[in-house]
Structure 1
């Protein structure tokens, strides 16, 4: 029997033209969703993703939203509603992964990362919640966070700050919106194999084609986190099977935060 968990879902997925965002869109469609809007900074990628999603049977559309453009973010939910009708699911997936340390991050770089990673998602969630309340229906949001909220590496200082901010937003909004039966959860995703990460490794770390094989040979489960795996978890948290769960931050990684090798192994 086909899984129809999301047949009543109308979804917005930011950053949905590739990688994790696109995988989430496909997962929702596979579970019955026929109405969704993705955002993309790149119109060509957005259009290509929409063609792919429509071929799977969905009424899919793309909006050219840059998450640091707050007026555009604030207009996004209303525009999506005009395209697909009521929206009851939001995934804040888009993010800027540019590098910067505590020693070299400039104010401009700080804003370049914080605005799309924290400020944009905040106002996207605000408009989503207002829509759900005005329409009188429940809603569910999943914020895509990062395992680096626990500290991260030296070259991710503003990115860590942005995802830590979004973690706080997730908790605060979850508590504030319970009376409206709107759930807000987050996933702390570990190092993930995506087109965006491939670009970042080449641009920021001078890696060459094939870098992934070498990395995956040296991680515990022989692979980086895969978008399809996180998409399953996102779909679960958005859907009714997750029940009343709200304000949860799930670590989705092969590293166990706070765990260390046994003393006889070092």
Structure 2
């Protein structure tokens, strides 16, 4: 047999397709799930996925408009949800959101901390005020929400799960994300500390270091800080290995798995949910 004919360069495979939401499997049937930052973006996708999987969901946000609209949407789909207005920069409001969920539904089985602040600042230009804002939203709020939710789980002698939405930038990040990285790296350590502290209580705590994701908040950030135009998503996707930005519904399916018993005994894991490989070099 002779040599194969030259075929030239292989064609680009194109972007990896988005499968859309997975079919319901009842992974969270009868669970009470609190999603902080659940009125838009990744948090809203998680709320939708949790309801689809049989959970009752409480979701927090600062603005009642988007939160109430999502509750109405979930009710129309046959689910049950509650909007809790909360400014998570205030630790007392973060704790009160847990108390309101317990008041409404009797308990919290699962907590997701998905609220985040991504305003820009470098080491040289970040003010103490900006730094404090990042600590308040990205670290302090998850700390005290976890404190209240885990106290409910431990007080009932019941197992529970927590998932913290972190960021791949927690490994170092871009220079213009200095206060964000500082706070989110702290959340990585907190996730592991809480998981270790409460493993004998059967409370599992895990985190996701998510990569660049297509959300309403990211759209606003790109326009406000980077002068992005209407086609910024397409331009960004073309530069990424899989040919697309991360999708909120895909993250949501992964979070539901971690919240559910299907993820087994996994705790203290901070998973890089990204298409770039830490330490990989070209």
TM-score of Structure 1 vs Structure 2, range by shorter chain: over 0.9
CA–CA separation in structure 1 for the residues paired with 2:220 and 2:115? 15
Q: Is 1:246 equivalent to 2:267 in the alignment?
A: yes
- Confirm or deny that 1:47 pairs with 2:74: no
2:96 equivalent in structure 1: 75
Answer yes or no: is 1:5 the counterpart of 2:47.
no
Contact residue 52 and residue 79 of structure 2 kept, 8 A: no
SS at match of 2:198: helix
> Secondary structure of 1:6's match?
coil
- Please give the per-residue CA displacement for 1:200-254, whole angstroms capped at 9, x wherever unaligned: 0001111111211111111111101111111111001000000100000100111
Which runs of 5 or more structure 1 residues have no equivalent in the other structure?
A: 262-266
Aligned counterparts, 1:35-184, within 5 A: 35-184=56-205
Query: Does structure 1 conserve the Cα–Cα contact (< 8 Å) formed by 2:211 and 2:274?
Result: yes
Moved more, 192-201 or 72-81: 72-81
Q: Does 1:214 align with 2:206?
A: no
Aligned partners of 2:75, 2:135: CA distance in 1, in Å? 33
Q: Identify the residue that residue 264 of structure 1 maps to in structure 2.
A: none
* 1:19 maps to which of 26, 34, 41: 41
Distance 1:66 1:160 in 2: 21
Report what 1:194 is aligned to: 215
Within 2, Cα distance between the matches of 1:212 and 1:146?
19
CA distance in structure 1 between the aligned counterparts of 2:70 and 2:90, rounded to whole angstroms:
22
Quote the offset at 1:136 in angstroms: 1.8
Residue 85 (structure 1) shift: 2.4
CA distance in 2, matches of 1:145, 1:126: 18
Gaps of 5+ in 2: 1-22
CA distance in 1, matches of 2:51, 2:82: 13
> What CA distance in whole angstroms lies between the structure 1 residues aligned with 2:268 and 2:127?
32
- How far residue 10 of structure 1 moved from its aligned partner, in angstroms, is 0.3
After the TM superposition, which segments of 4 or more aligned residues of structure 1 sit over 6 Å from their partners?
Answer: none
> Helix, strand or coil: the match of 1:217?
helix
TM-score, structure 1 normalization? 0.96
Contact 2:51–2:80 (CA under 8 A) maintained in structure 1: no
Q: What is the CA RMSD across the aligned residues, in angstroms?
A: 1.0
Which has the higher Rg, Structure 1 or Structure 2?
Answer: 2
CA distance in 2, matches of 1:217, 1:73: 38
SS of alignment partner, residue 239 of structure 2: coil
Cα offset, 1:2, TM superposition: 5.1
- Distance of 1:191 and 1:63 partners within structure 2: 28
Contact 1:59 1:84 in 2 (8 A): no
